[in-house]
Structure 1
Amino acid sequence: YRSYGSFIPLQKSDVLKHLKRRFNADFIDRKNVIFPEVTKYRAAIIQKPVPSFRVVYKKHTLTLDDLSTLADQNWLNDQVMNMYGELIMDSAHHKVHFLNSFFHRQLMTKGYDGVKRWTKQVDLFSKNLLLVPIHLEVHWCLVTADSVKKKICIYDSQGNAIQKVARVTADFMSFFVTLIHVLIPQQTNENDCGVFVLEYSRCLALGKPLHFSQKDIPKIRKRIYKELCDCKLHEQG
């Protein structure tokens, strides 16, 4: 609770692990008794979060309100997207660059002059992969640019924004070949697009296959919450 500011990222299996460490005994055969108690306790304590809880990492600061966007089926906000992007870059040893989630909006409204200072301190051509989260009204999707293969890929967990994004990338990166990935994990609700974008980004940056689905999203939300609080990506996805 003190580590994460709330019980949002904790799973019932975490409780069993804690009990095993504490008492040096396996409580798996008593989970039918333990889990209902955990559920009741969590429901009571969730109304009393740690009000001053903060996570500070480099130029990013997350409040409990920011982290709470990872609960249930909430929509992720820009603060969560951008700090997680920072963790991805660190884990990829800065061969990958995650562009700020406001980059695309600024580019669309003010053109290149409006964003050139954002990348002034970064040599984008030294990066193997650029990750560009794009927010279209109420939907997140991801565009990647491979500087080695001169290839742009579009990852859309719903598939309905692809043509609009493709037109945008064609206008600004005409010297790249645009590919649309269809056979990728897809969301089955209206709320998890931001989580899909972060998981796409993580897998692509670390060279891992996109082996996840909608049923994995609750666990992925909890893992992202923990990683943000720990200020590092965990080995196991």
Structure 2
Amino acid sequence: IQKNYKYFFSHNLVFKWKTCSELCGSSCMHAFIYFSGLLDEYLQKYGSLIPIHSDDIVEELQGIFSEDFSQPHRKVMVQHLIQSYQRSSGTAMVKGFRVNYKRHVLTMDDLSTLYGQNWLNDQVMNMYGDLVMDSVPEKVHFFNSFFYDKLRTKGYDGVKRWTKNVDIFQKDLLLIPIHLEVHWSLVSVDIKQRSITYFDSQRTLNRRCPKHIFKYLQAEAMIKEKRDFLTGWKGFFKMNVGRQNNDSDCGAFVLQFCKCLALGHPFSFSQQDMPKLRRLMYKELCYCKLLL
């Protein structure tokens, strides 16, 4: 297998290779040779090892060598090897790495907001929202994360041009991320059911957001001569959703709300799923498509 082994001969990795051989046998030695090149490959594909978990490596090795690498001592060795690779390759990030999608450009600074308990920024929110929208473009419209703040501060006149090329009343679902101070939440609009629903992983009752969206919909219906949509709207607060138990995962929850609503999937995730879902969203952004 032709791989790039530029980090293979670092003193630390050679030591780990010998240790790996002692613990796992000759097949594990061969696995390590493949392992270093595999991490190089991941680094070039994703710009960092942020979206990679030791289970990903174990699964890959099992597929290649037809052996069980899920044994505890082998999984521990895989984790040690990843750490050694990261130390030997500095920050384990590719300088100048970019993800380009339509008008979006994500840098490593943007993608790194998906690591650990960092707050997701507008760039990540907006590109991921567009991926959600583009997976079902006839049915869903995703509003830019700056839309609500502009609506709240400038009124309808501040955002009336945002939909000049789209008839939102021909959609089934509108997704409007809300960013107030340091917290993300979501308003969804079911056009057919005339319902406005507020989703918040902190389960707060922000009554102003749905009211602002209701007034926007009325103004939009009037301007676009969609008078059937002037009345009949109902507001809801969705309380039986996954609840965050920290101060940083609100953005990740909002993007998962968007994805599930758009695809018609149940909200089957919770706080404990966030590390895995953050890694998945990182990969989806790099692939420029949702991984269903």
Task: Find the partner of 2:286 among 226, 229, 232.
Answer: 229
**Which TM-score applies when normalising by structure 1?**
0.93
Task: Find the partner of 2:249 among 192, 199, 204.
Answer: 192
Amino acid at match of 1:172: Y
TM-superposed CA distance for 1:159, in Å, is: 2.0
Tell me the distance in 1 between the aligned counterparts of 2:87 and 2:182. 30
1:56 aligns with: 100
% same residue: 50
Q: Calculate the aligned-residue CA RMSD, in Å.
A: 1.7
Report if aligned partners of 1:66, 1:80 keep a CA contact under 8 Å in 2.
yes
Corresponding residue SS for 1:84 = helix
Task: Find the partner of 1:132 among 168, 176, 181.
Answer: 176
Tell me the distance in 2 between the aligned counterparts of 1:46 and 1:130. 43
Tell me the distance in 1 between the aligned counterparts of 2:194 and 2:70. 52
User: Would you say 1:207 and 2:251 are equivalent positions?
Assistant: no
Greater helix content: 2
TM-superposed CA distance for 1:122, in Å, is: 1.2
Runs of 5+ unmatched residues, structure 2: 1-42, 219-230
Report if aligned partners of 1:6, 1:46 keep a CA contact under 8 Å in 2.
no
Question: What is the CA deviation profile of residues 180-207 of structure 1, one whole-angstrom value per residue up to 9, with x for unaligned ones?
Answer: 1111111111111000000000001000
Amino acid at match of 1:145: V
Corresponding residue SS for 2:106 = strand
Q: Between Structure 1 and Structure 2, whose CA radius of gyration is higher? A: 2
Inter-CA distance 46–232: structure 2 relative to 1 (3 Å threshold)? farther
Corresponding residue SS for 2:79 = helix
Amino acid at match of 1:141: S
Question: What is the CA deviation profile of residues 132-169 of structure 1, one whole-angstrom value per residue up to 9, with x for unaligned ones?
Answer: 00101111100011110000000011123523424433
TM-superposed CA distance for 1:173, in Å, is: 4.3
1:3 aligns with: 45
Amino acid at match of 1:216: D
Task: Find the partner of 1:97 among 141, 155, 159.
Answer: 141
**Which TM-score applies when normalising by structure 2?**
0.76
2:27 aligns with: none
Tell me the distance in 2 between the aligned counterparts of 1:164 and 1:46. 47
Tell me the distance in 1 between the aligned counterparts of 2:140 and 2:59. 35
Inter-CA distance 7–183: structure 2 relative to 1 (3 Å threshold)? same
Tell me the distance in 2 between the aligned counterparts of 1:48 and 1:41. 8
Amino acid at match of 1:67: L
Whose relative contact order is higher, 1 or 2, with alpha carbons under 8 Å and at least 6 apart? 1
TM-superposed CA distance for 1:90, in Å, is: 1.6
User: Would you say 1:38 and 2:82 are equivalent positions?
Assistant: yes
Tell me the distance in 2 between the aligned counterparts of 1:186 and 1:217. 11
Inter-CA distance 37–66: structure 2 relative to 1 (3 Å threshold)? same
Does 109-118 or 223-232 show the bigger shift?
A: 109-118
